[in-house]
Homo-oligomer: A and B are copies of this chain.
Amino acid sequence: MKDIRVGMIGTRFMGRAHSNAYINVGYFFPTPLHPVLTAACGRDEINLNMFADRFGYQSTETSWERLVRRDDIDLVDICTSNATHLPIALEAAKNGKHIFCEKPLALNAHEARQMAEAAEEAGVTHMVAFNYRRVPAIVLAKQMIDQGSLGRIYHFNAVYYQDWLSDPKSPYVWRNDVTQAGSGAHGDLNAHTVDLARYLVGEFEAVSGIQQVFIKERPRQDGTMRRVTADDATGFLARFQAGAVGVFMATRLATGRRNLLRFEIFGSQGSLVFNLERMNELQFYSGDDPDQRQGFRTILVTDKPHPYISAWWPPGHIIGWEHAFIHETYDLLVAIESGAPAVPDFRDGLKCQQVLDAVQDSSLQGRWITLRGA
């Protein structure tokens, strides 16, 4: 099997999740390429060395510019903060590297378009790490919709609830700074639900949004207060091109909800509900069930015929959150080897960003914004 030499940029949460996926994918899936952890890159040397040691990276770099130019790197994996995605991706494309980039793809659609165009022109494989597209329950949802089991879709409603900023005294972090993060809950959380909406029910037509900073300033480590510029919460209404209507809400102040992404899809023939905190389950209602026996059924998505599951354990033995990364890494490797486009690619990342941007514009202008085609 051929090696694929990975250059990882970013050593925190996502760096760990991606590294875990590279290590494990081959133990469970018939990967066409063998990922080699060739180099890790980070700015804090101490942390970088710990990270590289732990996951077995063969070398380190403290400059991403150097990493993306190295001859012995085939795939650049971008797990850094949002503001750095653009320059890294452009340089990686220029150097002919395949690119795997964390979401949201960029700070805005303008940046995302540059990234998509650069990657396309370079002819490299490019993928955005919308990992929830690889949750078996969500893939099953997609299959059901494609098979027509829901009929015509009326509604796609979604929330993404976290609560790590509920406490007004929780300290200021870079994610509170709009210049570094692009946005707050919106780009971080709505990016996921917008991508899932596109995956499951198609393109958006128009949106009307509201963005809110509830806690206007937060304490820095030295005790002084700093103004928060990134949204704590962003909600929006949406109309889809295919006619569905939806409401969305992302917030980091949903006290008690650690990481609850929930979508509810209602169609003329059936309905689906998904909840990330119970990500091995999919709720399905079928209008075809006999009159007296209709109800939402809880499908425990751990059976052999379920997507990705045959690689894992017997029925009823649930998988964890990070397994979705293993699945997407598998799909990425297949795409790279085959030369077929990865899904979702930077063009998807751009389309997602256009929706996010429209919500922000709408919020500023107090009116609906119609999406133009990407």
Contact = CB atoms under 8 A, between A and B. Distances in A.
A314 B13 contact: yes
Contact of A249 (B20, B247, B296): B247
A292 interface: yes
A199 interface: no
A66 interface: no
A317 interface: yes
Interface in A263-295: 264, 266-271, 276-280, 284-287, 289, 291-295
Nearest to A289: B297
Contacts of A305: 291-292
A322 B276 CA distance: 19
A54 B313 CA distance: 16
A214 to B, nearest CB: 5
A35 B103 CA distance: 35
A332 to B, nearest CB: 20
Q: In the assembly, how many copies of this chain are there?
A: 4
Contacts of A55: 27
Which has the most chain B C-beta neighbours within 10 Å: A289, A298, A302? A298
A367 interface: yes
Contact of A318 (B232, B279, B316): B279
Given A243-B214, A303-B291, A319-B321, A13 B251 contact: no
B253 A154 contact: yes
A267 B284 contact: no
Interface residues of A, number: 96
A161 B23 CA distance: 34
Contacts of A33: none
Contacts of A218: none
Contacts of A246: 235
Contact of A298 (B237, B259, B295, B302): B295
Contact of A236 (B24, B164, B237, B259): B237
Contact of A277 (B249, B259, B318): B318
Given A237-B208, A269-B255, A277 B247 contact: no
A54 B54 CA distance: 22
B316 A319 contact: no
A245 interface: yes
Interface string A201-214: 00000001110101
A214 B259 contact: no
Contacts of A140: 292
Nearest to A292: B305
A254 B300 CA distance: 15
A168 interface: yes
B255 A287 contact: yes
Contacts of A212: 239, 245
A260 B316 contact: yes
Given A164-B315, A306-B292, A366-B367, A270 B287 contact: no
Interface in A4-50: 13, 17, 19-20, 23-24, 26-27
6 nearest A-B pairs in the assembled complex, by CB-CB distance: A259-B316, A258-B316, A256-B285, A320-B320, A297-B297, A258-B315
Given A167-B287, A259-B316, 13 more contacts: A23-B24, A27-B55, A154-B214, A157-B249, A159-B247, A210-B245, A235-B246, A259-B314, A259-B317, A294-B299, A317-B322, A318-B321, A366-B368
